[in-house]
């Protein structure tokens, strides 16, 4: 157990299904009141270890170039590190003016980046993991739904850059699961078959095995899939 002095507060680790912990913060896009300012939107709140570091720079460039794609899925992005506002501003300007990486250049990070020198927010969200670093946040990702509920949590260590296609896939899968009342199997993408709830009674299990629910493809009584077309998913989730 960490030894805390009287000015320190120990926060429980947030969990999937919890209300996103509230905070007010200064960001590169002005002050925010979280999660109230994001009500009605999905939001990805993510931390990075430090400004002016290479893995973080590659991540910010990648995330910034995908911002519109996330916006089309009704999702806003909010970053955080335990650096100060002027460091954030200088780093983001450097990225725009000087850094070319892969096929990205002139990348403008338009989403807010929280300054959190006090570590107030990082601690509330369990982003400081002393086994990895007690002075920098790990690469945490919280996907929070329009009601302010945490729906997915992913943590990466300092040395491992995130896969932003996977974050987008997870966001769309969460929204599809909500919209259609289904679950999504391994590696699911729009257009792939989805999983329906297992049979809840012996009668239902028998019916499914006998093929009485025609829209289902049952591998066994507990493992049934059904088709939802890519168009249906895109229409409902991405409003396309
Ligand atoms: C990086 O973003 O490059 C980085 C940050 C902290 C530790 C290791 C790498």
**Which residue has a Cα nearest atom 9 of ligand 1?**
159
53 CB near ligand 1 (under 6 Å): yes
Which residues are known binding-site members? 139
pLDDT at 7 over 80: no
Band (pLDDT 50/70/90 cuts) for residue 77 is very high
**How large a percentage of the chain has pLDDT more than 90?**
92
Query: Which ranges of the chain would DSSP assign to H, the alpha helix?
Result: 54-65, 67-72, 85-98, 120-124, 164-180, 202-209, 230-237
**What is the CA 198 to chain-centroid distance, rounded?**
27
Class of domain 181-237: alpha beta
Residues listed for the chain:
240
d(CA 61, CA 105): 8
Q: What phi and psi values does residue 210 have, to the nearest 5 degrees? A: -85, 5
Q: Identify which of 46, 47, 49 to mutate to test ligand 1's pocket (most ligand atoms within 8 A of the CB).
A: 49
Query: Mind telling me the catalytic residues?
Result: 56
128 CB near ligand 1 (under 6 Å): no
pLDDT at 4 over 80: no
Question: What is the average pLDDT across 100-110?
Answer: 98
d(CA 36, ligand 1 centre) in Å: 31
d(CA 199, ligand 1 centre) in Å: 47
Domain ranges of the chain: 18-162, 181-237
pLDDT of residue 239: 78
Architecture of domain 18-162: 3-Layer(aba) Sandwich (3.40)
- pTM for the full model? 0.95
Tens of pLDDT along 198-213? Answer: 899 999 999 999 999 9
Closest CA to 35 of 108, 125, 119, 110: 125
């Amino acid at each position: 157990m960490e030894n805390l002095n009287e000015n320190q507060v120990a926060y429980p680790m947030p969990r999937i299904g919890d209300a996103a912990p509230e905070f007010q913060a200064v960001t590169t896009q002005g002050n925010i009141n979280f999660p109230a300012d994001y009500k009605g939107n999905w939001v990805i709140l993510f931390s990075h270890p430090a400004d002016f570091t290479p893995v973080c720079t590659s991540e910010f460039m990648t995330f910034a170039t995908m911002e519109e794609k996330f916006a089309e899925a009704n999702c806003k992005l909010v970053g955080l590190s335990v650096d100060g506002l002027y460091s954030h501003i200088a780093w983001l300007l450097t990225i725009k003016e000087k850094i070319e990486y892969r096929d990205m250049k002139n990348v403008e990070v338009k989403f807010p980046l929280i300054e959190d020198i006090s570590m107030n927010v990082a601690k509330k969200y369990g982003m400081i993991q002393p086994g990895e670093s007690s002075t920098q946040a790990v690469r945490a990702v919280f996907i929070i739904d329009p009601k302010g509920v945490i729906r997915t949590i992913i943590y990466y260590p300092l040395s491992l850059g995130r896969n932003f296609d996977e974050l987008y896939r997870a966001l769309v899968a969460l929204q599809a699961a909500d919209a259609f009342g289904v679950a999504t199997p391994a590696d699911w993408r729009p257009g792939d078959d989805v999983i329906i709830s297992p049979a809840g009674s012996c009668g239902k299990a028998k019916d499914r095995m006998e093929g009485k629910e025609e829209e289902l493809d049952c591998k066994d009584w507990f493992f049934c899939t059904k088709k939802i077309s890519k168009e249906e998913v895109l229409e409902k989730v991405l409003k396309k």
